[in-house]
Homo-oligomer: A and B are copies of this chain.
Amino acid sequence: MRKRATAKQVAEAAGVSKWTVIRAFTPGASITEESKRKVLETAAALNYTPNLLARSLATNTTGQVAVFVDDFANPQKLPFLESLTEKLQAAGLVVMLININNHFDHVNALLHADQRQVDAIILFGTAFRDETLTDLQLGNGMPPMFVLARDSQIEGVPAVVCDAELALREIVDHLHAKGYKRPGFMSGAAALSTALRRRQHFAEFWAEKGVTDIALLFAEKYSAPAGAASIRRYLSETAAQDRVDVLMCENDILAIGAMDEIRGKFGLRVPEDIAIVGFDNYELGGSFAYGLTTYEQPRNEMVDVVLKMIKGKIEPETITLPGRLIVRRSA
């Protein structure tokens, strides 16, 4: 194994005690300019730098935040991860990225993060089952947890989410104003509360406009092929005059898959034959090829809020933040 210089070695070389060395590296500690300079010089010569592991053990805070992700297929994760790493790092925290896809047992992942003494756990997944958490006797020594970008029904586990009610209201208002009359909704994994909520609000606001008949489509997972398969099923089973004139997809990936299928395989036009709306404002949806109307989650603001909760600057409680409707050609 590698060997680094320790405070003790620097102390001997500089002719002081190891505590003086440590004080030289502790901002605001009581130490003379003279000895501080001396210590820092010998430290630089010996290539010494404090061992954060030892510090963590002594202070009982690691500065590490575990971020759980289970769905790497959604490109939306990447800008979120960028924002998370950037903001957490700026606050002196570091991200431990934990993959909890099916190969990995969720409970074990949680216990593992706990064993590593992380300061907080961010559940940034869409398919994390609530029961997994309730099984774990939360509060009993587990680090504080936060759910990012999805709902949480769990007592003591606050969520930071985009305001689904506002989002769907804006979307439905827009579609209604555009004159669409036969809406449909494509879900990705209906069991999830976040997914359900979007669909419910969609139905609710259309009902306010007097439209109660909403076609429901289901994709097996959040992927373009799944979206394509779902719309393929729908189009082949539904006569042209009975089809929706606008389809809202639960996220952009589904929307893109659906759009490809509609135009490529069925030769229909978007938005003339079927208009499409997505969710998430995934970067490529804005390209010329798609021009997807979508809704953008307030990523940076959401991460800011989670960070403040972790840092204890605001009370941990579920918070919804307003996003932004992005109108393009597809609807």
Interface residues of A (CB under 8 A from B): 1-5, 47, 49-54, 56-57, 60-62, 64, 67, 69, 72-73, 75, 77-79, 81-82, 85-86, 89-90, 94-99, 101, 103-104, 111-112, 114-117, 137, 140-143, 224, 256-257, 259-261, 263-265, 283-284, 287-290
Contacts and interface: CB of A to CB of B under 8 A. Distances in A.
A290 to B, nearest CB: 6
Nearest to A80: B72
A53 B57 contact: yes
A81 B85 contact: no
B256 A4 contact: no
Contacts of A137: 47
A3 B98 contact: no
Given A51-B115, A287-B256, A4 B82 contact: no
Nearest to A46: B141
B114 A49 contact: yes
Nearest to A104: B89
B78 A224 contact: no
A260 B283 contact: no
A98 to B, nearest CB: 7
A88 to B, nearest CB: 9
Contact of A290 (B67, B86, B289): B289
Nearest to A263: B288
Contacts of A99: 82, 85-86, 89
A79 B259 CA distance: 23
A193 to B, nearest CB: 24
How many of these chains are in the complex?
Answer: 2
A49, A50, A263: most-surrounded residue (chain B CB, <10 A): A49
20 contacts: A4-B141, A49-B111, A49-B114, A51-B57, A52-B115, A72-B81, A72-B82, A73-B283, A75-B75, A77-B78, A78-B78, A81-B81, A85-B99, A95-B97, A256-B287, A256-B289, A260-B288, A261-B288, A289-B289, A289-B290
Contacts of A57: 51, 53-54, 57
List the 10 shortest-distance A-B pairs measured between CB atoms, nearest first.
A264-B288, A85-B99, A72-B82, A260-B288, A289-B289, A97-B97, A52-B115, A95-B97, A75-B75, A1-B60
A140 to B, nearest CB: 6
A111 to B, nearest CB: 6
Nearest to A75: B75
A130 to B, nearest CB: 21
